[in-house]
Amino acid sequence: MTLLLTLSFVGGCGDTPTEPAPTFQKTDLRVGSGPQAEAGDVLRVFYTGWIYDSSRPDQKGLQFETNVGGNPLTFTLGRGEVIIGWDEGLLGVQLGTIRRLVIPPDRAYGSSRRGPIPPNSTLIFEVEVAEIIEQ
């Protein structure tokens, strides 16, 4: 399963795995309103992704991609169109919510390299829900 995104990054990144993975976490930075998203609903979202770095106060290391200021990403929740951490972490989200997801490698890309993302990387995403199309 892959996240269908255009990668844009600053700087290089080696093949060294990132630090040990924290547990999967989801935190609402802003709570939205309306019905909660369910598997099968179509979501349109804006997001930014970083490689987890425990040495930083916000744990945000290298920013490896974003679509903020561009077009929203559209996908069907729970259909494997995005990484498992998104399918699990965005269930129940509401319109307008900004959710922070900390996703360990087993719910992201595992031992595979994905562009600037080294193997076995824990990722952080901040995802803003722009639209929920109930199915």
User: Which domains occur in the chain, in start order?
Assistant: 25-133 (3.10.50.40)
Average pLDDT over residues 3-32: 63
16 has a pLDDT exceeding 90: no
Q: How large a percentage of the chain has pLDDT more than 70?
A: 84
Please tell me whether residue 117 adopts helix, strand or coil conformation.
Answer: strand
More confident: 15 or 66: 66
* Terminal Cα distance for the chain, rounded: 22
Q: What is the pLDDT of residue 19?
A: 57
